[in-house]
Amino acid sequence: MSEGDVVAKHVENLHRGLSALGRGEHPIPEALGNYRWTAELILATWQQAETGKPPTNGMEYKVGRSGGGFDRLAFKFLPPERRLPADLEPDLSIPLNRRPEGERIDIALPTYGGGMSFGSVSLNFMVARCMAARQLGTFTSTGEGGFPDALLPYKDQLITQIATGMFGVREETIQAARIVEFKYAQGAKPGLGGHLLSDKVTAEVARMRESVPWASLYSPFPFHSVYSVEDHKKHLDWVRTIHPKALLSVKVSTPTDVDMVAVGSYYAGAHILHLDGGYGGTGAAPEVAKKNIAMPIEPAIGKVHRYLVSEGVREQVTLIASGGIRTAWDVAKAIALGADGCVIGTAEMLAVGCTHCANCERGRGCQVGITTTDPLLSQFIDPDWGARRIRNLYESWKLQWRDILRSLGLRSIRELVGRRDLLLYRDR
Amino acid sequence: MNRPVNLFVPPWAACLPTNGCENLTRPGDLAILASMYQRFEIPTAPAPPLHPVPNKFLPVVRRPGLAWMLLREAFHYRFQRDVLLSRPCIYGVFSGPVGGFLPRTQLCVGCMRCVQEYPDVCQVFVDERWKALGDSYFTPDSISTLNYEATTGKIMVKGVGYKGPFAGEGFDGLWTDMSEIVRPTRDGIYGREYISTAVELGRKPTHVDPRAETVAAEEPVLELQVPFLFDLLPDACRGNGAEAAAIAAAARVRSLCLLPWRGLACAPIRRAEEAVVVPVVAACEAVEAARFLAGKAFPAIEWTDAAPADLPRLRSALPGSVPLLRVPLGSGTSAEVRALAAAGAGAFHVTADYHGRTADGSFVKDALLKLHDSLVEAGLREQVTLVASGGIVRAEHVPKAILCGADLVALDTAVWVAQGAALRGEFTRAGRRALDFPPLPPAWGAQRIVNFCAAWRDQLLEILSAMGLREVRRLRGELGRAMSYEDLEKEAFGDLERSA
């Protein structure tokens, strides 16, 4: 059998199907979607990834039907005559370093890619994300599984992650990246370590993580070297010693005292505070953790933003939100609640055909080649094709952000930060 | 007359391997028991359902479309057999001898790849039989999860985040806390650190006498290794094997099982399992049943039509026991329980209906909070045990009920559904016609209960570890480590302009 022919057949079919379903040429599949990612949101994301524009066929692409959070927030737009002209292009860039010292890094759009590790996702998908990040002028993250050689050409676009399992963490990987992120917790499973189940731990993944093939990898929780904000500062100092020029990001989840954690991280020297809300995540996680542990991102953003303002340090730190941010509208609402920008994971997976079916943890993993280490399935994502679709999705989002900003009379996305007065809360 | 009871000798001693230590009842035995320290674990074994549980997903293939597609592909791929037979499903739905003409629907996981590749030929529906599982509270999703837990004894792990509503009523409007930097978090189920899920049942002493040779209570205090016990079974299961299964499972998870006292004489109880049975008797029958209840440390008393003035009579009829008073939750419960606790009652089982609704329409979560606060205010909370039941159908409901003030919970519908019971319509109260409970082999039923209890305990450990708690006892009433939807919504969005 020619494996290439088999792959070619399925890839051709998948591309054709994604296109037709996204355009609404077939009935919406009944079993597709859920409260957060509705079938229409999924199909609209596929369509945007193909066309680079928001859907025009009436498909809902702004909100889901979770009944809370972003799905109940709306903007108070100006009357049409007071909006900014359509030919004005509001600035979408945001700074990642707001401290007086260190490298100035601005990204061209208010998002960057979330951490998805080698092993949890295929190498082809990782490369596609890196290529898209380069084309868009933003960053993407390696996740906690190490820094495969195939990503080295894109090191200027990479955030490398240090997580509790220390998988793949070496001096050279830290020195290769411009931004180093400490993952203290993650929204997929707040309070728990990473889970990479045995079927996905191939020989190559095990080599990268310096572990045993086909043995499940449960990262410990928490960092057993950190039991206080002072310990946390030592952590950051350690990376600063290895790579003095790196920007430091601290990724935390959303406990009741998330505001105190954020301020502690600021004083420890973090440039970026990355809040990962309890409903998000792309990786395998116990269902009980996803739903019940830690608060969703929406209330956490305002809580942290207000506390940083009251401490007088908000202007010196970049606040990034993630965890269940699905659309351009969610991003804009998160910024209005107080974030500077957002981290996106799941939407990028949807751009290349994810159906949000949640079977990522299984043996061969993902049926369309995203969250898999299966050699055949991995070939379903051609990096060029994947990069094009991810870029298209963000091009569509850029159009929407600019439209939102013009309708609010703002010339820059930075002007939207913390503008709660521009938000409405919808009754049930 | 009160008698001192060693806190550390559980009645399951009779159910456990003895290892020559079966007579450890003297004060000095504590040292021997301490040297036998071992982690508590619940052994699991696969126990597939006796009758297939409907699968959520139902793939449907349009056969004429499939035939035409195969013909078209045959020419397109020049009759390359392997290419033609490579099917758009990695889960084996089309792996039968005739492929998509007779799909193996039970294998479908809803990945939708068949629809993505062939949207004009394949569709995936949500099976109507799956939608009909359970009721509006014990939803099909909850039943599928419970079935997985009862079959495997494992926690369900899935990818890509949470998929449900933002928040809901009752327990769905509560999130638990976690720690990451500023409070030490625990290792959880994969770590080296032991997190205790043990709780005590009984009236606890308010002080310890340092001169005493052993830690002793004036009344029996029983340590359970899990913060749940098994509530009364419905009439529908009488004689079908479920009773024997629940008793055996209670012994294996080191818990208790409530049974009506009148049926006990003919109940299938092995001698080694007698200690886990808690007889339930109506308050008005307690004196009549006293001889039968003699020696039972924790008889459960239905307190529906009784008054605090009846308590002394009951206590004198049941010397040496701590009656577990079963009180329905309602508007007057706090005052009633407080009065009974002040009069010396040591353990309460407060009940709501199977949907967690109390007599006054509130949810068990809110009623528990009120009751807990009331006992704290009266300075009685530390002395009494609160068992709560009603609406506990998912693993997370256990810690959430404890956060709201219960010491432990009593499980009802989850135990029965794990054993294959099917709800008929809205199941809020036990009734002969409300439940379809086919006969079952007790050993199989016991294993199913043990399995889901193990999975629930592991999930409790995950939640405790995320919060940095080393024992479930510390969780009780710890609302500072919980977040309610109402509070968060008010804090996060209360200042925003509202719109319709």
All domains in chain A, ordered by first residue: 3-65 (no CATH), 94-425 (3.20.20.70)
Answer whether residue B233 shows pLDDT above 70: yes
Q: Which residues of A touch B113 (CB under 8 A)?
A: 14, 355, 367-368
- Taking CB atoms and an 8 Å limit, are A191 and B462 in contact across chains? yes
For residue A139, give the amino acid letter: F
Check residues B412 and B274 and name the one with the higher pLDDT. B412
Q: Which residues of A touch B112 (CB under 8 A)?
A: 29, 31-32, 355, 357, 367
| Predicted pLDDT of residue B184 | 66
Answer whether residue B12 shows pLDDT above 60: no
| HSE, side-chain direction, 13 A CA sphere, residue B484 | 15
Answer whether residue B14 shows pLDDT above 50: no
DSSP-assigned letters across all residues of B100-146: GGS--GGG-----HHHHH-TTTEEEEE-HHHHTSS-SSS-HHHHHHH
Answer whether residue B193 shows pLDDT above 60: yes
User: A79 phi and psi, to 5 degrees?
Assistant: -60, 150
For B408, the 3-state DSSP assignment is strand
The architecture (CATH level 2) of B179-489 comes to Alpha-Beta Barrel (3.20)
B500 touches chain A (CB under 8 A): yes
Question: Which residues fall within 8 angstroms of residue B492, CB to CB, at 6 or more apart?
Answer: A298, A299, A302, A303, A337
| Predicted pLDDT of residue B214 | 62
| Predicted pLDDT of residue B30 | 53
Answer whether residue B237 shows pLDDT above 90: no
- DSSP β-bridge partners for residue A424: A74, B497
Identify which of A293, A313, A296, A76 has the alpha carbon closest to the alpha carbon of residue B492. Answer: A296
Residues B39 and B440: beta-carbon distance below 8 Å? no
| Predicted pLDDT of residue A312 | 97
| Predicted pLDDT of residue B213 | 65
Query: Cα separations (Å) of B348 from B202, B255, B388, B411?
Result: 9, 16, 8, 15
| Predicted pLDDT of residue B216 | 55
Query: Kindly report the CA angle at B198 between B192 and B200, in degrees rounded to 5?
Result: 160
Question: Which residues fall within 8 angstroms of residue B440, CB to CB, at 6 or more apart?
Answer: B50, B240, B241, B242, B245, B419, B420
- Which of A2, A221, A379 is best to mutate for the B interface (most B CBs within 10 A)? A221
Residues of chain A with pLDDT under 70: 1, 363
Answer whether residue B173 shows pLDDT above 50: yes
Identify which of A140, A132, A187 has the alpha carbon closest to the alpha carbon of residue A159. Answer: A140
Query: Cα separations (Å) of A312 from A119, A141, A267, B32, B157?
Result: 41, 30, 12, 59, 42
B128 touches chain A (CB under 8 A): no
Identify which of B179, B461, B324 has the alpha carbon closest to the alpha carbon of residue A252. Answer: B179
B22: pLDDT confidence band, cut at 50, 70 and 90? very low
- Which of A292, A361, A373 is best to mutate for the B interface (most B CBs within 10 A)? A292
B20: pLDDT confidence band, cut at 50, 70 and 90? very low
Q: Which residues of A touch B481 (CB under 8 A)?
A: 256
Task: Count the neighbouring beta carbons within 10 Å of the beta carbon of residue A413.
Answer: 23
B2: pLDDT confidence band, cut at 50, 70 and 90? very low
| Predicted pLDDT of residue A174 | 92
B307: pLDDT confidence band, cut at 50, 70 and 90? confident
Query: Kindly report the CA angle at A204 between A149 and A349, in degrees rounded to 5?
Result: 70
Tokens, residue B211:
């001169």
ipTM of predicted assembly, 2 dp:
0.93
Identify which of B414, B464, B428, B442 has the alpha carbon closest to the alpha carbon of residue B145. Answer: B414
B292 touches chain A (CB under 8 A): no
Query: Cα separations (Å) of A124 from A50, A148, A150?
Result: 19, 11, 9
| Predicted pLDDT of residue B7 | 40
Which of B91-100, B278-287, B290-299, B400-409 has the weakest average pLDDT?
Answer: B290-299
- Taking CB atoms and an 8 Å limit, are B160 and A346 in contact across chains? yes
Render pLDDT for A114-136 as a digit per residue (tens, 0 to 9).
999 898 899 999 999 999 999 99
Query: Cα separations (Å) of B485 from A359, B392, B488, B490, B493?
Result: 29, 19, 5, 8, 11
Region class of A365: left (phi > 0), else alpha (psi between -120 and 50), else beta: left
B82 touches chain A (CB under 8 A): yes
- Taking CB atoms and an 8 Å limit, are A67 and B117 in contact across chains? no
B151 touches chain A (CB under 8 A): no
Answer whether residue B21 shows pLDDT above 80: no
Q: Which residues of B touch A298 (CB under 8 A)?
A: 492-493
Across chain B, mean pLDDT equals 88
B148 touches chain A (CB under 8 A): no
Among the partner-chain residues B86, B110, B459, the one whose CB lies closest to the CB of A286 is B459
Q: Which residues of A touch B139 (CB under 8 A)?
A: none
Q: Which residues of A touch B495 (CB under 8 A)?
A: 420
| Predicted pLDDT of residue B266 | 74
- Taking CB atoms and an 8 Å limit, are B86 and A17 in contact across chains? no
